[in-house]
């Protein structure tokens, strides 16, 4: 790949990431949420109660980031934390009724954001996008071992849950 093509690709990905995050932040703000918190709510809505360390892994965030998010969401009454019966040092995180209602609002918002994002694309392209984007994410995932020449032949794409990386607003 020559520089012009590489630059166009990298700039497009960078701008999409920045603008999508800014748009998500604008949509989440009226709900009292910051980017990253919605992923935590949606993960708990999808899976049910989880040990905080598992939640950190599912979100692709460092544990201190999840701790900060859970503290804020707990202070607002959207989640509750309780000691895990098997390990009192571990916390189980679960949605409250308020958190379940908020997760439902986030689901609606997320559908609207996705539709806005893919406006003008064919249904076939939209259907292919998650796999393509997950492959790209896997290719640059710094949590995985490096491959020779920067390539990851046969790499398994990350799960849908790993859509966020550390650096979320907390």
pLDDT score of 2: 95
Query: Any idea which fold 3-142+151-163 has?
Result: Arc Repressor Mutant, subunit A (1.10.10)
Q: What is the dihedral of CA 48, 52, 53, 59, to 10 degrees?
A: 60
Q: pTM of the predicted model, to two decimals?
A: 0.77
The residues with which 94 forms a beta bridge, in sequence order, are: 80
pLDDT score of 145: 58
Q: What is the dihedral of CA 113, 117, 121, 126, to 10 degrees?
A: -60
Tokens standing for residue 55:
């939640």
pLDDT score of 162: 39
Tokens standing for residue 160:
């849908």
Cα–Cα–Cα angle for 101, 104, 109, rounded to 5 degrees:
130
pLDDT score of 87: 84
The answer to whether 39 touches 169, Cβ cutoff 8 Å, is no
Question: pLDDT confidence of 143, banded at 50, 70, 90?
Answer: low
Please, which residues have CB within 8 angstroms of residue 135's CB and are 6 or more apart in sequence?
155, 157
Whether the per-residue pLDDT at 156 is higher than 50: the answer is no
**Nearest alpha carbon to residue 61 among 48, 45, 43:** 43
Instruction: Count CB-CB contacts under 10 A for residue 44.
Output: 23
Domain coordinates of the chain in residue numbers? 3-142+151-163
Please, which residues have CB within 8 angstroms of residue 25's CB and are 6 or more apart in sequence?
34, 35, 169
35-79 confidence digits (pLDDT tens): 999 999 999 999 999 999 999 999 988 999 999 999 999 999 999
Residue the block writes with tokens 């398994």: 156
């Amino acid at each position: 790949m020559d520089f012009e093509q590489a630059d166009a690709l990298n700039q497009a990905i960078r701008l999409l990431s920045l603008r999508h995050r800014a748009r998500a932040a604008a949509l989440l703000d009226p709900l009292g949420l910051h980017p990253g918190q919605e992923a935590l709510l949606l993960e708990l809505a999808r899976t049910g109660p989880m040990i905080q360390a598992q939640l950190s892994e599912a979100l692709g965030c460092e544990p201190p980031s999840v701790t900060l998010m859970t503290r804020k969401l707990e202070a607002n009454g959207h989640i509750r934390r309780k000691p895990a019966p098997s390990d009192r040092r571990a916390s189980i995180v679960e949605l409250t009724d308020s958190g379940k209602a908020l997760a439902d609002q986030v689901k609606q918002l997320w559908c609207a954001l996705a539709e806005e994002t893919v406006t003008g694309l064919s249904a076939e392209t939209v259907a292919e996008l998650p796999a393509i984007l997950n492959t790209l994410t896997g290719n640059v995932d710094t949590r995985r071992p490096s491959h020779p020449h920067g390539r990851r032949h046969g790499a398994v794409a990350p799960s849908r849950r790993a859509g966020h990386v550390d650096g979320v607003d907390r």
